[in-house]
Amino acid sequence: MNIKFSNLVLFSFLTILAFSNNSNARIKCWTNSEGNKECGDKIPPEYTQQGYKELDKRGLVRDEKEKIKTGAELEEAKKQAAEIRKEKEKKRNQQAYDKMLLETYTSVDEIKIARDERINAVQSTIKLTRKRIIKLQYQLDDELLNSNDNNESDKIKSLKDQVSINEVFINKKIDEQEEIKKSYTEYIERFKKLKGYK
């Protein structure tokens, strides 16, 4: 009799335990292929990767699984992250540029003076190079006049090369002057904006 009673108590305890476990089980809710919300104790296999929520018996969300991204979605997320990094880097660079500008110059006139000094320094280099070309040209003319040979001598070739190299150098310096003007125009415009000038 005692054994039967013990078995009955054990059976009752296990039954109560099983029911209490089921009552604590979470309900899973997902969205089906038609866009409707469905809930149950198990998610159909075709929706397991779509993301879902787990609710307790009171209907409170206890866990949320995000949708597993496809290869295309992962690639798009990577692109967006790269764009965000790029924008942040651009912003940092702009802040550093602005700081440099404000710490270097106190007025628009100072920027103009610095611009003119740089342009004049390049202009001086151009003048010296032009003088060098004139000297080389005189030497070349003399060599050509005194040359009896129909073939060019090594000295004539060398002088022609030097003239050509110096002319290319002058063209680069002229381009450099234009770049300086462009850069300092940008400095002035940015400086005015930072200072609130019109």
pLDDT tens string 182-194 = 999 999 999 999 9
What are the tens digits of pLDDT across the range 125-166? Answer: 999 999 999 999 999 999 888 877 666 788 889 999 999 999
Q: In this model, does residue 64 exceed pLDDT 80?
A: no
Give the whole-angstrom CA distance, residue 185 versus residue 179: 10
pLDDT at position 133 is 96
The structure's pTM equals: 0.57
Q: In this model, does residue 56 exceed pLDDT 90?
A: no
SS (H, E, C) 77-127: HHHHHHHHHHHHHHHHHHHHHHHHHHHHCCCHHHHHHHHHHHHHHHHHHHH
Percent of the chain whose pLDDT exceeds 90: 52
Residue ranges of the domains in the chain?
2-65, 105-195
Higher pLDDT, 162 or 33: 162
Check if the beta carbon of residue 129 is closer than 8 Å to that of residue 137.
Answer: no
Determine phi and psi for 193, rounding to 5 degrees: -65, -45
Residues 6+ apart with CB under 8 A from 32: 38, 47
Mean pLDDT over each residue of the chain, to the nearest integer: 83
Q: In this model, does residue 119 exceed pLDDT 50?
A: yes
